[in-house]
Amino acid sequence: MSRSEDGRSSVTDDDHRRVDELIAFHSPLAHRLTTERTSYQSQMIPVTSYILVACCEAFLRYPEAMRTIAAAMDPEQIGAAGRRPGSRINTVHLWSIANFHLLGRKVLTQFDPSLDDLVATLDVLEFWDAAARGFRNDGTRSADETDGTVCVYDDAVIEALAGSVEGVGDDQRSAVRQHLASLVSYLFLLYFDTRVGSGDTGPYDLAELGIGPVGHTMIVRDFYQMGRSEFGWSDVAADVPYQHLVAGLVVRDVDARITDFGTVVTDPEDYLDRLSGISLFTTDGLPPGELRPVPLDELAGVAAACRATERTLYRRIARMDTMEMVACGAEVYFTFLRPFAEAAGVADRIDWTVPRDLPAHMIDLLVAAGESVSETALPDERPETYYLPYA
């Protein structure tokens, strides 16, 4: 791609080939992840509606935002900055910054084909490509390419987590899993029925690393932005004692893989039934990459604070009208790009208001469409053309 003196882009044949190559990478993976995911249709929050609004805004606005971010810091370096606990530059955010734009393209160009912009899409996908390579640091760009591994934390982190593991016996396992479930449930609501409040990495074979017995695997689970954040509704979380926690979950005789949604899939399915140990840390108040142990006996108190906050938050959301919920949910999705901007030091140079560029009649149309469907991938769509190429 070349730019003339007036700043306009001249699209080359190589640009066409490159953008279609990147679309072809995402299309079958997005189709499979979207159709195979565990679906949950909220009885209160219009999830599909706000996803459509957020993705259409991402189609219109991510290209300019990513150019601003990339001008401040190399996207590959930004991706590498996510290789530490506490960073929301993670697997699901990486997948999303590319696919939100592509899904928005898929929707909006059906109404107005003139909106399609090869240069904009190429800028987004090249940003994703570099950031994903920097994050994974193994020549791949997704968990799918390695059959479900996201081993991005270095040996020192895993050794620290493993070194503080406390054994979990049969009499403790039920309580521990209930406490962990409380954290996940709370974050699910805090992020408007979205699973990105927690994220898994691994699996880490402790025997291969020389720090555990054969058959023992660690799954690392990060719990992100548990307290007050840029989300206006998070003011209810003032009593949640930690902003970020990271748990090292050691399971025995479990076959685990991590999806590009940042969630663990295991055989047997109930992997916590084989939980043999857990360690707990926080990154709060520490330089990037550092961890501080959290006594395991604090977990019950954290879970109780999360349950109380969840009840308060539920009541607040229940008082919102549909458009308020759509705006809040769309903010969660649209700001998946924010951690990348924060790493580059330019978050304050990007307008995170959403919805912003979609006209009111289009928002109404997308909300209505979202209310009539529960999935964004239809059974009769072909995986290889889930996202259409440009050529």
- Mean pLDDT, the chain, as a whole number? 94
CA distance linking residue 282 with residue 294, whole number of Å? 7
Q: How confident is the model at residue 41 (pLDDT cuts 50, 70, 90)?
A: low
Per-residue model confidence as pLDDT tens digits over 211-252: 999 999 999 999 999 999 999 999 999 999 999 999 999 999
User: In the structure encoding, which two tokens stand for residue 252, read together?
Assistant: 């025995």
pLDDT score, position 154: 95
Residue 379 has pLDDT above 70, yes or no: no
In sequence order, the 6+-apart residues with CB closer than 8 A to the CB of 331 are 54, 231, 352, 354
Predicted model pTM: 0.94
The span from the CA of 51 to the CA of 58, in Å, is 10
Residue ranges covered by each domain of the chain: 2-147+321-385, 155-318
Please spell the DSSP secondary structure of 76-144, one letter per residue. HHHHHHTSSTT-S-SHHHHHHHHHHHHHHHHHHHHH-GGG--HHHHHHHHHHHHHHHHHHH-SS-SSGG
What per-residue confidence (pLDDT) applies to 42?
64
pLDDT digits (tens, 9 = 90+) for 90-99: 999 999 999 9
- What confidence tier does 105 reach under pLDDT thresholds 50, 70, 90? very high
Check residue 3 and give its pLDDT.
45
CB 244 within 8 A of CB 226: yes
pLDDT of 79 > 70? The answer is yes
Give the three-state DSSP class for 317: helix
Supply 295's token pair. 């006594």
| Distance, CA of 383 to CA of 381 (rounded, Å) | 6
Residue 16 has pLDDT above 80, yes or no: yes
Quote the tokens at residue 337: 């790009």
What tokens does 25 get?
């990478």
Please tell me the predicted confidence (pLDDT) of residue 377.
Answer: 45
pLDDT value at residue 374: 54
C-alpha 112/C-alpha 108 separation (Å) is 6
Burial of 208 from C-beta contacts in 10 A (0-12 / 13-18 / 19+): exposed
How many CB atoms neighbour CB 353 within 10 A?
Answer: 12
pLDDT of 2 higher than 70: no
Across 7-34, average pLDDT: 89
Q: Which has the minimum average pLDDT: 53-62, 217-226, 343-352, 368-377?
A: 368-377
Residue 139 has pLDDT above 50, yes or no: yes
